[in-house]
Each structure stands twice: as structure tokens, then as C-alpha cells.
Structure 1
Amino acid sequence: MKIRSVAAAALCMNLMHAYAVPPVAAAGPNANTAGERRIWMAVGERRFSITLADNQAARAFAAHLPLTLDMPDLNGNEKHAKLPKALPTKDSQPGTIRVGDLMLWRVDTLVVFYLTFDSPYLYTRLGRIDEPASLPDVLGRGQARIVFTRE
């Protein structure tokens, strides 16, 4: 009887371990965790966290960091800059662009949107600034030097 209860206990422990291991740990070292999907954007003294999209373009963008870009204003709603290297694309028409969207236009133009508006253009989503409310004030009109980093 004692052998059965030890075997049952061992089986229970194995089952508990199988279901208690967090999915990130179970997925191994190549897992795409939230921490791996977070990058940072600095404008002067202001720092913003960005959650990257789960796609090839966002991973390629993150692989090129750190990156400092002088980004001129366009249309009073976005900053844009040509990237040093083309990224993979998967264009879609978002329709409504939201404040805080980080997008790729064509294969090599990074766009940071600081106002919400409707757009007919095609973009590849790279990510989203987590708390974008102050972006219109921080980015304003004119050129902005923006630093993108992993930490």
C-alpha cells in the first residue's frame, strides 16, 4: 500500500510540475516574452516604453538598436525618418492611426505618430508606445532627435 501512495504522489508531482511551469519557461530560450518585446524611446529627457508587435519587422527593428534618428515632422501628426537598412514588411491599411503607433512605411521609413487620424496609407506595424498621452507636447512640430534602445 505504501508503494502505491508513493507512486501516486510522484505522479501527482509530475503532473503539477507539467502544468505549473510558466509558458515562457516551457517555451525555452527563444521565447518571445513581454520583456523581449519592450524597447524604449527617448526624446530629450522624456523616456517612453514601447511594446513591439509580434512580427518579423519589429524583431528586425529591435535587432538594429540602439538607434538615434533626427526625425522631421510631417503633416502635423507624425515624425518620420529613413532607416539605415530596409526591414521586412507585411503591409496593412490600419484605417485609423492612433497616437503612439510606431509603424514602418514602405521598407525603410520609421514613423512615430503623435496624433490620432484616419489614413488611407499602408503600413507595417512595429509597435505601440505604452503611454502616449504626452506625445503631442513632447514631439510638437519641427524636428526631434529620438533615441531608440533596448534598455
Structure 2
Amino acid sequence: MRGAATTDRRRLIIGAAALALLAGRSHAATHANKQEKTAMRIGMRFAGRDLTATLFDNPSARDFFSLLPLDLEVEDFGGNEKIAYLPRKLSVEGHGPFGNEQPYDLCYYMPWGNLAMFFAPYKHPGLVRLGRFETGMEALHLAGRYPLRIEAID
């Protein structure tokens, strides 16, 4: 009898620990890499084209916004995105997984410290979504390397 009670108690403790772990992960995922839009809007210009994007409410997006204005170079990468290297790595405090990846997301690739501007489907675990493009997205489809200007806009 005592052995069965000990086994039941162990199962209960293991089950409670697993539930606590899953609840913590769920809470972290909902608060990490937040996807709510903010008043932080940016304008990008390259190849004579203008793009606008609204940034999301997360530490990486706020850190990126604090760097503006920026003069960088944008180039093709991987057949589904354009990339631009930032002058320094961004904060990734609070980063976490996100779903619903879509073309025209503006992301930060943590391992290399670059912006990733997607114009086709993508999925990669090393990304933080910074925001979404709203206008001018067709410029992302232009092949080549161009000077890129990024500024905060009202």
C-alpha cells in the first residue's frame, strides 16, 4: 500500500512540475516578441522607391528605432528576402517564438545582427519580428544591392 501511495505522489509532483513548466512557456511566448503595433513608424528608401512599416511593441523593435536614422546597404538573400547589416546588434531581451510568418514582415536575425525584409514565405527560429511593411513592398522584389536610408516618420 505504501508503495502505491509513493508512486501516486511522485506522479502528482511530476505532473504538477510539467504543468508549471508548460504554463511558464505559454506565458513567455505570449509576452515575448509582442506583435501589437505601436506608434513607431519608419520609412525606408532604396532604388528610388519608398516603403513604410509600423514596428511592434518589443525590446528589439524599440532598440532598432533608437538607432534611426540609418544609412545602410540592402541586398538580396536566400531568394525570399532582402537584408541589411546594422551598425550593432540589437537587444533580444524578451524574444521568443512567433507564428503566422508572412511576406512583408520586417525581422531581425539574431545570429548575424541584420535586418531581414521578407517578400516571400519564410520560417526560421533565429528571428525577432520587428514589424510589418505597409506601403511600397514591391521594392523588396527588385533584384540587386542598393544604398538604403531608414528614418523615423510621424
Q: Report TM bin, short chain.
A: 0.5 to 0.7
- Give the CA deviation at 1:34: 4.7
Check if 1:126 corresponds to 2:130. yes
TM-score using structure 2 length:
0.64
Q: Give me the whole-angstrom Cα distance separating, in 1, the residues matched to 2:137 and 2:84.
A: 22
How far residue 132 of structure 1 moved from its aligned partner, in angstroms, is 5.2
How far, CA to CA, are the matches of 1:144 and 1:67 in structure 2? 14
Q: 1:129 is matched by which residue type in structure 2?
A: F
Q: Please state how far the C-alpha of 1:98 moved relative to its aligned partner.
A: 1.9
- Partners of 1:129 and 1:91 in 2: CA distance: 20
TM-score where L is the length of structure 1: 0.65
Q: Whole-Å Cα distance in 2 between the matches of residues 102 and 74 of structure 1? A: 14
Find the counterpart in structure 2 of residue 110 from structure 1.
Answer: 115
Q: What is the percent sequence identity of the aligned residues?
A: 30
Q: How many aligned positions are there?
A: 115
Who wins on radius of gyration, i.e. which is larger?
1
The Cα shift of 1:61 comes to: 0.6
Does residue 55 (structure 1) correspond to residue 63 (structure 2)? The answer is: no
Q: Give the alignment partner of residue 41 of structure 2, picking from 38, 41, 47.
A: 38
For residues 32-69 of structure 1, give each alpha carbon's deviation from its aligned partner in whole angstroms, at most 9, with x where no partner exists: x954x111111233212110011111111111111111
For 1:120 and 1:61, locate their aligned partners in 2 and report how far apart those are by CA, in whole Å: 20
2:26 aligned partner: none
Q: What's 1:66 paired with?
A: 69
Unaligned stretches of 5+ in structure 1?
1-32
- Contact kept? 2:64, 2:90, Cα under 8 Å: yes
Q: Pick one of 98, 101, 104 that aligns with 2:102.
A: 98
**Further displaced range: 77-86 or 93-102:** 93-102
Confirm or deny: 8 A CA contact 1:94 1:119 kept in the other structure.
no
Seen in structure 2, the aligned counterparts of structure 1 residues 95 and 81 have a Cα distance that, compared at 3 Å, is same
CA contact (8 A) 1:96 1:119 kept: no
Structure 2 unpaired stretches of 5+: 1-36
Residue 73 of structure 2 contacts residue 85 of structure 2 at CA under 8 Å; is this kept in 1? no
Q: In structure 1, the residue corresponding to 2:64 is in which secondary structure? A: helix
